[in-house]
C-alpha cells in the first residue's frame, strides 16, 4: 500500500533540519534500498516535507513517521499519514 506522509515544520524547523538531515536521510535509506520510497523531499515554501512510501499497513507507515529523526528531534511539529491510491503515472 502507498502512504503519503506530510511533515509540518515547527518554529525552529529550518534550523533544526540542517542538524538532523543526515539522520533523517539515514532513516530513509533502508526503505529506499528496498524500493519502498517513491518520493521524498522538502516543500519549497519551507513549511515541511512530503514523503511517499510503500508500507504493509497504516500502522507501519505511522510508526515510521513518528520515529523519524525529524519528528523525534522537533524539525516536524506534527505529521499526517494518509493512505494513497496512485492513478498517474500508471503503476507498473
Domain boundaries, the chain: 2-84
For 2-84, CATH number?
Answer: 3.30.70.1060
pLDDT of residue 40: 98
| Per-residue model confidence (pLDDT) at position 46 | 93
Beta bridge partners of 39: 52
Q: What is the pLDDT of residue 91?
A: 79
Contacts of 39 by beta carbon, 8 Å cutoff, 6+ apart = 50, 51, 52
Query: What tens-digit pLDDT sequence spans the chain (92 residues)?
Result: 999 999 999 999 999 999 999 999 999 999 999 999 999 999 999 999 999 999 999 999 999 999 999 999 999 999 999 999 999 999 77
Amino acid at each position: 500500500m502507498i502512504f503519503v506522509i506530510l511533515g509540518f515544520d515547527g518554529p525552529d524547523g529550518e534550523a533544526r533540519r540542517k542538524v538532523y538531515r543526515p539522520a533523517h536521510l539515514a532513516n530513509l535509506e533502508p526503505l529506499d534500498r528496498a524500493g519502498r520510497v517513491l518520493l521524498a523531499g522538502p516543500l519549497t515554501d519551507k513549511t515541511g516535507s512530503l514523503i511517499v512510501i510503500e508500507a504493509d499497513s497504516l500502522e507501519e507507515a505511522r510508526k515510521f513517521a513518528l520515529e523519524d529523526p525529524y519528528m523525534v528531534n522537533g524539525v516536524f511539529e506534527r505529521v499526517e499519514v494518509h493512505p494513497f491510491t496512485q492513478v498517474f503515472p500508471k503503476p507498473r
